[in-house]
Amino acid sequence: CHLIHYLRLSHHLIVLNYLICTFDKLKSVSSEDIKITDAVFDGVEVRVFEPPVKGDESLKRSVVYIHGGGWALASARTSLYNNLCRIMAESLNAVVVSVEYRLVPEVCFPEQYHDALRATKHFLQPDVLAEYSVDPSRIAISGDSAGGNLAAAVCQQLSKDEDLPVRPKLQALIYPVLQAFDFNTPSYQQNMNMPVLPRYVMINYWIDYINGDYGLAHELLVNNHTALNVGRALSFRARLNWTSLLPPSFKKSYQPVVQTTGTAAIVERLPALLDVRAVPLLADDATLARQPRTYVLTCENDVLRDDGAMYASRLERAGVPVTLDHFHDCFHGCMIFTVWPTDFSAGVQTRNSYIKWLDENL
C-alpha cells in the first residue's frame, strides 16, 4: 500500500516536472522594459522585477510574491512564474519581489516558511525599500497554492512583530492551501479525483512538507489525526468548522467526516499538523484581526477551494476587509497557464481579476 502511494505520487511529480521543464523552454512574455535582477535577501535568493521610472514619479507600489508547487516544485526563475511576475510588474507599475525559497526534499517545514519570512522582512527594511524606490505604505504579500500558505503564515507573523517599522498593506492569496486538519471538506470530497491536484497528491505534499511517512496517508485521508479522542486537536476544531464557515453553495449535501476514535500518535509524531506556521487557518481570532485587507481567489474544481473560503470567512468575522473571488469554472493552478500551448481562458480570467484587485487596492 505504501509503495502504491509512493509510485502514484512519483508519477504525478514526474509529469509536473516535465511540464514545468517544457514550459521553461518556451519564449517568455515580452516585457523588454522590465528590469529583472537576481539578489539575495538575508541569505534567501529572490528575483526582482522593476518597471522603468515614469516622468517625475518617485516611489512605486510593490508585491512580494511566493510561488506555488506543493513546497516541492517550481521556482521564481521558471518561465511560468517569471511571466506572471513580469506581467504584474508591468500592469501594476510595481516592483515585484519573487522569493526563491528552498524546496522539498532539500529542506522540510519550517525551512520554507523561514526563507519566505526572512526574505520578506529584509525587503521591508526602510533602507532596502528606498534602494528599490518602493513606497513603504503600498506593499502587498501574495502567493499561490503552497505559496499562498507561506504568504498567509508570513503575514500572520509580521502582524505579531512589534518592532517591524513597515507592514504590508494587503495580502492576496490565490487558491491557498491553509489546513491539514480536515481532508474531507466539501471541496476535498467533491474534487478528490480532480486532475492537477487530486486529494491523495495534496495529502502526500503535506506528508513531504512536514517530513512524515507515506504510511500515514490513509490515516490523514479519513481524519484519524483529528478524531474526537485526539486531545491536542480539540481546541482547534471550531476554527475550521466548515458547517458554519462555508456558504450553502459550497456545502451542498456533503457531511462532515469526524472520527470518534482515531490515532493521537500522529500529531505527536508530526506536531506541524497543528502548527499555525504550517496551518494558517488554525490561527486564533486575535491574530486574524491584525491581518491586512485580504483577497482570496478560489476555484470550484479544486480540493483547496474550502481552505480559502473558510479563511475568508474567519478573517471577515475578525473584522478584516475581505474579497472572496470565486471562479465557478476554473481549476487549481490555472493562473499560471496563460502561455501557449496552455493559454487557457481560465488562466487569463483569474490573473486579470487578481491584478485588477491589486491595482484598485494597493
> Which residues have a catalytic role annotated?
145, 302, 332
Sequence-distant (≥ 6) Cβ neighbours of residue 55 within 8 angstroms:
none
What single string gives the DSSP state of each residue in 259-313? -SS--THHHHH-GGGG-TTT-GGG--HHHHHTPPEEEEEEEEE-TTHHHHHHHHH
- Residue at 283: amino acid letter: A
In angstroms, rounded to a whole number, what is the distance separating the alpha carbons of residues 9 and 17?
12
Q: Measured in whole angstroms, how far is the alpha carbon of residue 328 from the centre of its chain?
A: 19
Among 143, 154, 142, 149, which Cα is nearest to 209's? 149
**Which of helix, strand or coil describes residue 205?**
helix
What are the CA-CA distances from residue 156 to residues 135, 142, 284, 303, 324 (Å)?
Answer: 21, 13, 10, 23, 19
**Which of helix, strand or coil describes residue 335?**
helix
Tell me phi and psi for residue 81, to 5 degrees.
Answer: -85, -30
The DSSP call for residue 193 is T
